[in-house]
Amino acid sequence: MNKYSSYLLILITAILFGSCEKDDLCTPDQAVTPRLVIEFKDVLNPLENKAVDRIEVQEIGSSSFAPLDTNGSTTLSNTETISIPLRTDSSRTSYNLILTEDGVLNSDNIDFNYILEEVYVSRACGFRVIYNNLVAIQTAETSGNQWIERVIIVEDNVTNNTDVHVQILH
């Protein structure tokens, strides 16, 4: 009897481990809806990165600030890159990018328009959203106090968190 129970245990273990499909596992990088990666550049030399002193980003109509990195920081200092979420329930996200330089606040508005696409990842992960045909429209200020000189779309399909999608020259 002991011999048969050992075989039975091995058989059950083999069935359990052998029946696990790739679709049954979901790694965090697979399921993540990508964020918009923005890089700050020098307006006088667009090939050079130019850090911003202190930045916060607030969605228009919201009282809270958007997370700017994977740690959820809502304020970053001396940074050359931020990573912000786009809406998954609308084809438009409008943000105020608030720069603090020498104690002075300066806020510029950018509307990001895109086409939403739900992509099936796997049975365990379900769906994620990617953003296609990204367009950035900067609202001109009447006061002439814009800190953002130019917005350039580098990659118009937001499909991952590693590529730079937008460059802001300031």
What digits encode the pLDDT tens for the residues 70-119? 899 999 999 999 999 999 999 999 999 999 998 899 999 999 999 999 99
In angstroms, rounded to a whole number, what is the distance separating the alpha carbons of residues 97 and 149?
13
Give the range of the structural domain holding residue 109, as residue numbers without chain letter: 26-169
Query: Please, where are the H alpha helices in 19-130?
Result: 28-31
**pTM of this prediction?**
0.84
10 within a domain of the structure (yes/no): no
Per the structure, the count of domains in the chain is 1
The predicted pLDDT at position 9 comes to: 60
151 within a domain of the structure (yes/no): yes
7 within a domain of the structure (yes/no): no
Q: Which residue has the higher pLDDT, 93 or 125?
A: 93
8 within a domain of the structure (yes/no): no
Q: How far is CA 39 from CA 62, 84, 87, 147, in A?
A: 24, 11, 20, 15
**Of the candidates 160, 27, 154, the residue with the CA atom closest to the CA atom of residue 83:** 160
41-58 confidence digits (pLDDT tens): 999 999 999 999 999 999
6 within a domain of the structure (yes/no): no
13-17, 36-40, 89-93, 130-134: range with lowest mean pLDDT: 13-17
* pLDDT higher than threshold 80 for residue 12: no
The predicted pLDDT at position 14 comes to: 56
100 within a domain of the structure (yes/no): yes
